[in-house]
Amino acid sequence: MSERFSVLLQYLMPRRAINVLAGKMANSTHPGLSQYLIGWFLARYDVNMAEAANPDIRSYASYNAFFTRALRADARPLASSDFVCPVDGAISQLGAIASDQIFQAKGHQYSTVALVGGDAGLAAPFQDGSFATLYLSPTDYHRVHMPCDGRLLRMIYVPGDLFSVNPATARGVPGLFARNERVVCVFETAHKTPFVLVLVGASIVGSMATVWHGAVNPPRTRNIREWRYDEQQIALKKGEEMGRFLLGSTVITLFVKDALQFNPAWTATRAVRMGEAMGAQPGNRAL
């Protein structure tokens, strides 16, 4: 199937209805259905269950419980760099934010304002900053971790579409990541410098969840929802889990100008693993 046709097909499909059905199936605790789905997935994909904290596939009550399984404590050692990769996946794109424009794919870009849900004040500090877009395929570990220490300030649910976020769709759907449903998590470092992690939803992503809130969606509303944490002390350490996808998607990181230099080994399409060196503060070459 050609890329153009696969993207056209997504425009024609009842994406939201498919998403609801997939979510119900993935959350089902009916033993026959859940074990069938888990068995099908293991037969189709090369999954290393030896990395799992619990390798017994029969013990998972639902497909989603299996899909979001925890890893052994020693499965993803943290690099000593200032910033570590927050997920297992592949680099879709990374680099400098050109004024307020983020590069998506050849011929496509979108603004930081659009990505964070239209809040120009929130987007302003990331003018000429840096970004990384990290794609999680269905076979990847689907928990999201902190790239550095951070204190939570805000969380924003931005309603949107449910296109696939695979590379072919990123090349074919304009403004894809600012168009799909997403959860924007705003943190600050110990030096009061903001950074953002955006969890982007996709087709058949049943839900996105954070460790401080639980499932953010459903419910899926038509309006932007926001939670403020200024008065709370929700602080997470580098490498600590901050959220997860119930089925696969994409994470986008935003950093202010001169906050980090990316690992020179990081290039578009490169496979990455949670905990590996993502970057260092300028002047610190420890990668």
Give burial (CB, 10 Å; 0-12/13-18/19+) of 22.
middle
Respond yes or no: is residue 140 known to be catalytic: no
- What's the gap between Cα 5 and its chain centre? 26
DSSP 8-state class, residue 161: B
Contact indicator for 68, 246 with CB cutoff of 8 Å: yes
- Residue 145 is among the residues annotated as catalytic for this protein: yes
- Asked if 142 is an active-site residue, the reply is no
Quote the CA–CA distance of 145 and 29 in Å, as a whole number: 27
Q: 82, 119, 145, 207: which is the annotated catalytic residue?
A: 145
Q: Give per-residue burial for 202-239: e unless 16+ CB within 10 Å, then b.
A: bbbbbbbbbeebeebbeebeeeeeeeebeeeebebebb
Residue among 62, 81, 88, 164 flagged as catalytic: 88
Q: Which member of 62, 92, 130, 249 is catalytic?
A: 249
Residues in the chain: 287
CB hemisphere CA count around 152 (13 angstroms): 23
Catalytic residues: 88, 145, 249
